[in-house]
Amino acid sequence: MDYISYMRDMIGNKPMFLVGGGTLIKNKNGEILLIKRTDNGTWGMPGGSCELGETFEEAAVREAYEETGLEIRNLELFSVFSGKDMHHIYPNGDEVYNANCIFETNNYSGTIKADEKESSDVRFFDLNNLPDKINPPDKFIFKKYIARMKGIL
């Protein structure tokens, strides 16, 4: 049993502080890879919670492989996100406050494929044409990333 499931068995849906890593995976056209999440049907970046003893980078690499089939390398820290903008209540009632280290890379290999457990679709999107249904905690991250890419930050 993974750590999050273990904790949920003890506390139910009560608010939980989650620590994790995610990655903005960019292709040569500057598009970013998004997954369609199976838990809430929204689009977001590959990522997830750290397991006990795992670094942020290790979690980001593991989650990217699990959710997209890609092996990612040469991660560079984009930013750290936490606070009220990272609060989320999932459709099953689980409430979380995320603290995430978000990385970026354009160094990857493998064949893109959804894992069907956490992602039902995986594809690249132009930053100016992101899907309408974005995973709520990822909206703030994408907003900051797009601002940086446009030279606003």
Report the SS3 class of residue 71: strand
Domain boundaries, position 116: 3-127+135-145
- Does 73 map to a domain? yes
Closest CA to 109 of 67, 72, 68, 62: 72
Question: Whose structure tokens read 């249904």?
Answer: 133
pLDDT at residue 150 greater than cutoff 90:
no
pLDDT at residue 153 greater than cutoff 60:
no
Query: In angstroms, rounded to a whole number, what is the distance separating the alpha carbons of residues 66 and 46?
Result: 9
Report the SS3 class of residue 145: helix
Q: Report H helices in 1-153.
A: 3-11, 56-68, 136-149
Count of structural domains within the chain: 1
pLDDT at residue 1 greater than cutoff 70:
no
- Does 151 map to a domain? no
- Does 152 map to a domain? no
Enter the pTM of the model: 0.91
- Does 122 map to a domain? yes
pLDDT at residue 121 greater than cutoff 60:
yes
CATH number at residue 51: 3.90.79.10
Q: Which residues contact 10 (CB under 8 A, 6 or more apart)?
A: none
